[in-house]
Chain A
Amino acid sequence: MTRHILLLLLATAFLLSGCGSCRYLIEDEPLLLHYRCEPDREHLAGLAQGYGEIIRQNQEDEAVSQPGLFADYAASLALLGFREESSRWFNREAALYPNAAPYVAALKRLLILEYASDTSTDAQVVDLSAFDFSAPADELSLQAAPAPKLTPQEKKALAKEKEKAKKEKAKAKKQAAKEKAKAKKESERQKAKDRKAADKAKAQAQKEAEAAKVQAAKEKALAKKAEQEAKEQAKKQAEAAKKQAAKEKAIAKKAEQEAKEQAKKEAEQAKKQAEKEKAQAKKAEQEAKDQAKKEAEKAKKEAEKQAEQAKESEE
């Protein structure tokens, strides 16, 4: 348990330390966009005030200022007529970021030539709330002129009044912020409610769509299965018919082959018989021939014998 508390404390400390170094950026504010859209003195003053506020906040939070912030503040002050303060802020930028020194020098020559060689960096955020920037520039310079000398008492009273006004302003700002946050919270709550309802409807619709999809898929699968089965049946039948035909063909072929072989056999047998008969006839003929020859020789011999006998008798 103690370990968990320790971990929680560490995490909180880490988060808090992270927030401490957050720096405020002018890019997150609409002031720059307002000035770009309508580049007049009023918007420029608003922008300068915004820069001043960011510098003050960064100083309070001990955060590192964004590079170029002091230079932009200086440029806005120069354009509004606060030339000395502008020079000091330009110098602070150049001191903090050496990359900026050449362009700071060029801009000082361009905007505040009389302070081109000034090197003072003791700059303070200018309170612009006391000036009316909706008035033309020459009137502003009158208002911005140094005030008449005051007695210490008057000075004290003025300072007190200023402090009071500042406090009231801060209070009003805080109140406004609170109200704004409340309104935002309310609006967010309403939005969340709406979103929840929309999400619910969406989820329901999605569910229905999915169910329909599943049903359609099921039906499709069934139809596909039936089609597949019919196809397979037809295929089977075709194969059986093919097999039968092949069988019949084979039988016919066998019979034909057998008949052919039988005929061939018979022909060979007949041929053999004929050859045998021919050989027998030839043999008989030869024998007859031999017999005749033998008989002729015998007759010849007999005749010769008779002739010799006759001759002998004659003698």
Chain B
Amino acid sequence: MKHHSLYIICILLVSLSSCRQTTKIATYGDLYTEAPTTIYLAPVQDLAPRPDDRTMGGKEMVREYALAANYLPQTLATPLLRQGYYVLPQLVSIQIAQAESRSIPQLLNGDLSSYQQDYNIDAILFVTIHKWSVQNGGIVAYLEYALRSTKTGITLMHCWVKGHKRNWVNFHGESVPLTSDNEFAVEMELSDSEAQRCLLLLQVSDIIIRNLPTSSSRRQFRDDLYKAANPTYLYMFSNETGEMEVSPLALEKFEMECFAE
């Protein structure tokens, strides 16, 4: 009887400890140690399979995918700046990417010390679009974010995201775009479907980057050590008000949905 109670207490303790969210110091320990301040945004790696452009609507989809990939770098700079990092601007980044001869996979695995020496870049942020799909009429994007140090080459942050922009319908079953989505479409001169795709990337990037520790150039550096960090695999979905809600995602589920045929 005594043994049984002990086992039950042990199981309860283990389950409770697994429920607790990890802290930023545990997830971004290397980032706190290295304390990068200058970040360069590598060109986006777009690996999303394209639909057949001979099918109905295929051409528009291909164009939308390309447009979203072009918009993605634009979504990264502002949240990084808000966290206190110095981000190399867009046009400058394009010039540096053109001057460098290495491809993204080479950069992801190779030596980055030349970026530190030539441009004083402390870390490089890589973003990969793995797949686009549709679930319940809403757009789904499978993305990967990785931040690599140019000093040591270690990965300071790495996460995989399934972003889901839900489609809300009215009583008649017609799609009801949110006012904020409409405003975004007007401001960015985009069609509704293009705006939905771009907005999804904007919201996902914002959540991922806002969770990074504050830059060491700010006095708030290390104030957030024990705040909750995002899990490595994330599922983000938009609610009725258009805001993103975040929940952990199983590795197997991400792998199966993203990479399995």
Contacts and interface: CB of A to CB of B under 8 A. Distances in A.
Interface of A: 25-28, 30, 32-33, 36-37, 47, 66-69, 71-72, 75-76, 79, 97, 99-103, 106-107, 110-111, 184, 188, 191, 198, 201-202, 205
Q: Sort A-B residue pairs by CB-CB distance and give the 6 closest, nearest first.
A: A68-B89, A102-B120, A72-B89, A103-B119, A36-B70, A75-B91
Given A37-B66, A99-B37, A75 B95 contact: yes
B189 A30 contact: yes
A184 to B, nearest CB: 7
Contacts of A47: 91
User: Main secondary structure on chain A at its contact with chain B?
Assistant: helix
Nearest to A203: B171
Interface string B177-214: 00100100011111000000000000000000000000
B92 A67 contact: no
B31 interface: no
B121 interface: yes
Contact of B90 (A72, A106, A107, A205): A72
B61 interface: no
Contacts of B187: 28, 30
A68 B80 CA distance: 12
B108 interface: no
B174 to A, nearest CB: 9
A103 B70 contact: no
Contacts of A76: 91
Contact of A37 (B67, B119, B172, B182): B67
A102 B91 contact: no
Contact of B120 (A101, A107, A191): A101
A37 B189 CA distance: 13
B246 interface: no
Contact of B95 (A69, A97, A101, A110): A110
Contact of A198 (B77, B95, B170, B182): B170
Contact of B86 (A25, A27, A67): A67
Given A28-B187, A30-B189, A103 B66 contact: no
B170 A97 contact: no
Contacts of A27: 74-75, 77-78
Given A97-B86, A99-B38, A103-B96, A72 B118 contact: no
B188 A99 contact: no
Interface size class of chain B, counting residues whose CB lies under 8 Å from the partner chain: 35 or more
Given A27-B77, A97-B86, A102 B70 contact: no
B87 interface: yes
Contacts of B78: 25, 27
B173 to A, nearest CB: 12
B71 interface: yes
Contacts of A69: 89
Given A72-B91, A102-B118, A106-B96, 8 more contacts: A27-B77, A67-B89, A68-B86, A68-B89, A184-B186, A198-B170, A198-B171, A201-B170
A120 to B, nearest CB: 20
24 contacts: A26-B90, A27-B75, A30-B189, A33-B188, A36-B73, A47-B91, A66-B81, A67-B89, A68-B86, A68-B89, A68-B92, A71-B88, A72-B89, A75-B89, A75-B91, A99-B38, A100-B86, A102-B119, A102-B120, A103-B96, A103-B121, A107-B96, A110-B99, A191-B179
Contacts of B92: 68, 71-72, 75, 103, 107
Nearest to B98: A110
Interface in B19-40: 37-38
Contacts of B70: 33, 36-37
A68 B88 contact: yes
Nearest to B119: A103
B176 interface: yes
B186 A33 contact: no
A110 B98 CA distance: 11
Central interface residue in B70, B188, B190, by most chain A CB within 10 Å: B70
A77 to B, nearest CB: 10
A32 B90 CA distance: 8
Contacts of A202: 170-171
A49 to B, nearest CB: 13
A36 B170 CA distance: 36
Contacts of B89: 67-69, 71-72, 75
A30 B188 contact: yes
A203 to B, nearest CB: 9
A33 B171 contact: no
Interface string B108-141: 0000000000111100000000000000000000
A111 B95 contact: yes
Contacts of A66: 81
